[in-house]
Amino acid sequence: MITILSVTIFLLGYIAISQEHILKVSKTSISLLIAVVLWLLVVLGKTGPVGHALAESAGEIFSLVIFLLSAMTLVEILTHYGLFDYLYAKLLKLKLDDKAQFFIITFLAFIFSAFLDNLTTTIVFLQIASRFFSGKNLLRSASAIVIATNAGGAFSPIGDVTTTMLWLANKFTTQTIVVQTFIPSIVVFLVSSLLIGKSITTDTKDIVEKAIRLGKVEWFIISLCLFSFLLPLFMTVVHLPPYFGLLLGLGTIWLVVDLARLQRPHSTSLSIAIEKFFQKTDIASLYFFIGILLAIGALRHLGVLEEISHKVFTAAPTTTRIIMGNISIGGLSAVFDNIPLTAAAIDILKTTDPRLWALLALTVGVGGSLLLIGSAPGIIAMTIVKKLTFSAYFKIATLPALVAFLLGIVVWLLQYNYLG
């Protein structure tokens, strides 16, 4: 009874969040209420020690929120020191129309998400896209960037949290995940970008800004910021959470800026202290993120996600059942957070074939693009592009994402059956 009630409350809240623009009620308030009510049901259901379950959920939420805060701060530093102005000026010189700019930006987002991660890449490229597009073109490009970064993150062991989880659990090697999922991932990216990009017909006039000249200090700080985004990979290698890398980078930059201000007190670019960048953080969106993850944590503690995984895979699944199960889990990741779904699958799925684990990484990574709040890049896109609501994304991107998702799976199946 408690389980049915909890799922009902979650789905009703999910619907309310998706209709925020109609109800005129903040999605953040709904997510926080759902989270608290579900955890009250956990207490009433007496399903086990609540403290341990809360600590587990709190640890995951802390990691993601600290990662987000650090990445957003680093992007604000890059903005202040002129990197995006510089890139904007360079791209302007190419004199491209909106459609060409759209494909270049989404392609770069796809590539960079494999080397950085899909969350950081989304933040960076949404900032770039906001310089070139406005109105519906901005919503289309933001939607395409979400899909592109999720697809790019799926073929790299450090591109997505779930892929990293499977990689660290020794379910596949770096070579296996790249070989098995690169072509399906690029198919997902190309199909979704082509389907969304064809709607970009008008060309907005780009604003020609004054020439951007960055000094040695600016370039040094920009270089430190960009290098900071590579540090999560190092932290993963030494078995520390990725956010330690961003914290190390942020702390180093903070110290460098403070020391540089002492040496050059009259420098215009150094006049703003790092503390000022924290004021630009969207706290409401972070609370929304926290509420959703707490709600998912409650469902996990109630056994809902484990029950889903058991139903999907069964006790002794055949290869066909595992493939269908992986596809189903990918579809469910559009609604439920893919991190706990993947964690449950790691414990339940009994197979030693790394290709099947690579398929799971592909489906849960790309499946989160089907709905806006199905992935962390989607949630952060809501934060940066205010008019990108659940319904706006659904109209623009859900069908292209679904078509791309299915075609990506078809390509993987062809590889699996004919290329070995």
Q: What is the pLDDT of residues 394-406, one digit of tens each?
A: 999 999 999 999 9
Q: What span, in angstroms and rounded, lies between the C-alpha atoms of 407 and 346? A: 25
Q: What span, in angstroms and rounded, lies between the C-alpha atoms of 369 and 397? A: 8
DSSP secondary structure code for residue 116 in this structure: S
> Highest mean pLDDT: which of 79-88, 143-152, 174-183?
143-152
The secondary structure of the chain in percent helix, strand, coil, rounded to multiples of 5, reads: 75, 0, 25
> φ and ψ at 119, to 5 degrees?
-70, -50
Tell me the per-residue pLDDT of 182-198, one tens digit each, with 9 for 90 and over: 999 999 999 999 999 99
Nearest CA-CA partner of 144 in 418, 386, 381, 413: 381
Nearest CA-CA partner of 197 in 115, 111, 118, 129: 129
pLDDT confidence tier of residue 107, bands split at 50, 70 and 90: very high
Q: What span, in angstroms and rounded, lies between the C-alpha atoms of 65 and 88? A: 29
Nearest CA-CA partner of 399 in 377, 370, 374: 370
As a whole-number percent, the residues of the chain with pLDDT over 70 amount to: 91
Residue 285 belongs to what H/E stretch? helix 283-301
Residue 398 in contact with residue 378, Cβ under 8 Å? no
Q: What span, in angstroms and rounded, lies between the C-alpha atoms of 248 and 324? A: 41
Neighbouring CB atoms inside 10 A of 332's CB total: 22
Is the torsion defined by CA of 73, 77, 83, 85 positive or negative?
A: positive
Residue 360 in contact with residue 346, Cβ under 8 Å? no
Considering only residues 315 and 7, tell me which one the structure prediction assigns the higher pLDDT. 7
Residue 346 in contact with residue 164, Cβ under 8 Å? no
> Highest mean pLDDT: which of 120-124, 210-214, 412-416?
412-416
Residue type, 301: H
Q: What span, in angstroms and rounded, lies between the C-alpha atoms of 365 and 326? A: 11
pLDDT confidence tier of residue 259, bands split at 50, 70 and 90: confident
Instruction: Enter the pTM of the model.
Output: 0.75
